[in-house]
Amino acid sequence: MAIAALVVAAVSGCSDDPSEGSAATSTTVGAASSAPATTAGARDDEAADGGLRILLGEVKKVPVPADAVLDIRAPAAWGQAVGGIRCTVTDSSGRNEDLRSSDAKKTETFGGTEWVTVWTFSSAPNSDVTVGCRDAESKIAAAHRDPYLRVVPREIVPIAPPQR
For residue 96, give the DSSP letter: B
3-class state of residue 152 by DSSP: strand
- How many other C-beta atoms lie within 10 A of the C-beta of residue 79? 13
- CA 38, CA 26: separation in Å to the nearest integer? 29
Residue 94: inside a domain:
yes
Outline where DSSP puts E strands in 49-125.
52-55, 59-64, 68-75, 85-91, 107-110, 113-121
* Domain count within the chain: 1
Range of the domain at 14: 2-155
Residue 161: inside a domain:
no
- CA 31, CA 60: separation in Å to the nearest integer? 8
Residue 164: inside a domain:
no
Q: Which pLDDT does position 8 carry in this prediction?
A: 37
Residue 148: inside a domain:
yes
| CB-based burial label for 54 (10 Å; 0-12, 13-18, 19+) | buried
For residue 100, give the DSSP letter: B
Residue 119: inside a domain:
yes
Percent of the chain at pLDDT > 70 equals: 71
List the single range of 23-32, 58-67, 87-96 with lowest mean pLDDT.
23-32
Q: Which pLDDT does position 141 carry in this prediction?
A: 78
**Four-point Cα dihedral 26, 82, 63, 114, nearest 10:** -170
For 71-90, what is each residue's pLDDT tens digit? 999 999 998 888 889 999 99
Q: Which pLDDT does position 61 carry in this prediction?
A: 96
The answer on pLDDT for 1 being more than 90 is: no
Q: Quick one: how far is CA 71 from the chain centroid? A: 6
Residue 149: inside a domain:
yes
Higher-scoring residue by pLDDT: 116, 139? 116
Residue 52 phi/psi, 5-degree rounding, is -125, 140
3-class state of residue 118 by DSSP: strand
For 11-58, what is each residue's pLDDT tens digit? 334 444 433 333 343 333 333 333 333 334 444 445 467 789 999 999
Residue 122: inside a domain:
yes
For 119-134, what is each residue's pLDDT tens digit? 999 999 999 999 999 9
Q: Which pLDDT does position 137 carry in this prediction?
A: 83
Helix (H) or strand (E) holding 9: helix 2-11
Q: Is 0.75 topped by the overall pTM?
A: no
Residue 162: inside a domain:
no
